[in-house]
Amino acid sequence: MQFDRRSLLKYSAAAGALGLAGPFAGQAFAAREKELNILCWEGYNSDEVLDPFRRQTDANVSAESGTSDPDMINKLRAGEINVWDVINLNQPWARDQMWPEKLIKPLPKDRFEPYFANMMAPFNKDYEWCYTADGENLLGMVQRFGPFNFVVNTDKVSRATAEDEGFNLFNEASNSGKYGILTYDNWNIYHMCIGAGLDPFVKHSEADIAAYEKVARAWFKGAKLLTDDLVAMNLALINGEIDFYLTGGTYTSSPARLDGYSNIRGITPKKGPMAGGKGGITWVEVTSVVNNPQGSPLAYDFLEYVQNPEVCHAVAFAEGTYNPVTQMGNPKVFEKFSSEELDAIQWDSLEEELSNTVDYQINPDYDVMNKIYNEAKREA
């Protein structure tokens, strides 16, 4: 074989390219063994939750919190499916959107199903939002949850009155200017449906939509304050700028309660227009493994790690907001919570509140209602 200058250059370039690409390609695969990226609601991204896992696995674990469920799903849709390994969203999205769009992959049942046995009811047996509709595939694990309806300052409106009146409180003309709207758009829409006497999770007639629109416009007109910042909303409630606000619950009232403001209380209406005459909604986070083509094997280890009692407590009381966790059905987890912490998450009424709520689902008329919602907000 004869080498001339051109062929020497050619082979050198090829060798150089291999030399460069080879180690990097190897590193790319090796890096995923020691790397985990989590897209989640705030709390799972705290050092209290992540640091022990980092030490345990010696892995580079990074987590980013989202601002809304749709926002986080959009990241996966926009191509970040190659970035994230774990995604943590409220209950309907895994089964109804991410699974059909192949954004998540199923969990091995034999490894994860045993953890359900120690959870609180109704999460301890075949909790429907963790599975595909046919029950064949396990789509995620549940942990944080909470009733999410409205919040009152009990010095201004008693708990009993608020529970009896429910969302009608916002319909009363005399309450105009006394409340705020925490603009979690999708939740506001559900609560406006309830205020209009509608079940948000069924198909609606034109008359229903008109009734919803009337409530949406009236509530925006009567609202003193709109914000998507729960701290700003609690501050306004504590300082007397407003007497109550929707959308809210344990998730938003617990930081104020832990700070000693026990007059700030999440309310679940005793009755309402939803299935079984219920008037409130509960969110439950489902944490799933992203269908990342080069997914980190640590994703499954992380889902197991957060079942550990210490970690369950850290997740429940991570920075930001404080929430009950389904694992509190396990006495070893429950004993980690102090009486102040239990009071902050309204443990005294949690069971009763849960019995008055239905699961958060996707509204079949969300698109049309969202348009009306934005118009009403803009034109108020």
Partner 1 sequence: MSSASDTMTAQPTIATQKIPRRRRLVSPGLLAALPVIIFLCVAFAAPLLAVLGYSFMPEKTFELTQAPTLENYLAIFSNSYYLSFTKSLGLALTTVVLLLVISWPIAYGMAKIFGRWANFLTLAIIIPLFVSENIRLFGWVLFLIKGGVMLGGLKAWFGIDGESMLYEVPAIVLGLVYVYLPFALFPMVLGVSMVPREVTEAAFDMGASRWQVFREVELPLAMPGILIGGLLTFILSLGSLAESKILGGQAVIMIADEIETAFTFGQNWPLGSALSMLLILFSGTLVLTLLNWIDLDKILGRGKGGNGD
Name the residues that contact partner 1, by CB under 8 A.
Answer: 67-68, 70-71, 73-74, 77-78, 180, 183, 185-186, 224-229, 232, 235-236, 239-241, 367, 370-371, 374-375, 377-379
What span, in angstroms and rounded, lies between the C-alpha atoms of 286 and 141? 5
Question: What pairs with residue 36 in β-bridges?
Answer: 61
Q: Which is nearer to partner 1, 170 or 317 (CB)?
A: 170
CB of 33 to partner 1, least distance (A): 31
CB of 186 to partner 1, least distance (A): 6
CB of 223 to partner 1, least distance (A): 8
CB of 372 to partner 1, least distance (A): 11
Query: Phi and psi for 257 in degrees, rounded to 5?
Result: -65, -40
Per-residue CA distances from 246 to 146, 160, 337 (Å): 15, 17, 28
At 247, the amino acid letter reads T
What span, in angstroms and rounded, lies between the C-alpha atoms of 101 and 87? 14
Q: Which is nearer to partner 1, 35 or 185 (CB)?
A: 185
Rg of the chain's alpha carbons, rounded to an integer?
A: 24
What span, in angstroms and rounded, lies between the C-alpha atoms of 317 and 311? 10
Question: What pairs with residue 325 in β-bridges?
Answer: 144
CB of 351 to partner 1, least distance (A): 31
Q: Which is nearer to partner 1, 31 or 362 (CB)?
A: 362
CB of 220 to partner 1, least distance (A): 9
Bond into 247 cis (ω within 30): yes
Q: Which is nearer to partner 1, 334 or 366 (CB)?
A: 366
Which helix H or strand E contains 91, and what residues bound it? Answer: helix 91-93
Q: Which is nearer to partner 1, 75 or 271 (CB)?
A: 75
Strand 141-153 relative to strand 179-182: parallel, antiparallel, unpaired? unpaired
CB of 380 to partner 1, least distance (A): 9
What span, in angstroms and rounded, lies between the C-alpha atoms of 241 and 233? 9
Q: Which is nearer to partner 1, 58 or 379 (CB)?
A: 379
Which helix H or strand E contains 94, and what residues bound it? Answer: none
CB of 378 to partner 1, least distance (A): 5
Q: Which is nearer to partner 1, 234 or 346 (CB)?
A: 234
CB of 86 to partner 1, least distance (A): 21
Closest CA to 186 of 378, 360, 376: 360
Q: Which is nearer to partner 1, 34 or 224 (CB)?
A: 224
Q: Is 276 in contact with 342 (CB distance < 8 Å)?
A: no
Cα-Cα-Cα-Cα dihedral sign, residues 36, 40, 44, 47: positive
Bond into 147 cis (ω within 30): no
Q: Which is nearer to partner 1, 163 or 213 (CB)?
A: 213
CB of 96 to partner 1, least distance (A): 13
What span, in angstroms and rounded, lies between the C-alpha atoms of 83 and 296? 10
Q: Which is nearer to partner 1, 89 or 236 (CB)?
A: 236
What span, in angstroms and rounded, lies between the C-alpha atoms of 342 and 361? 27
Rounded to 10°, the helix 309-316/47-57 angle is: 150
Residue 363: count of CB within 10 angstroms of its CB: 21
Residues whose CB falls within 8 Å of the CB of residue 28, separated by 6 or more in sequence, listed in order: 294
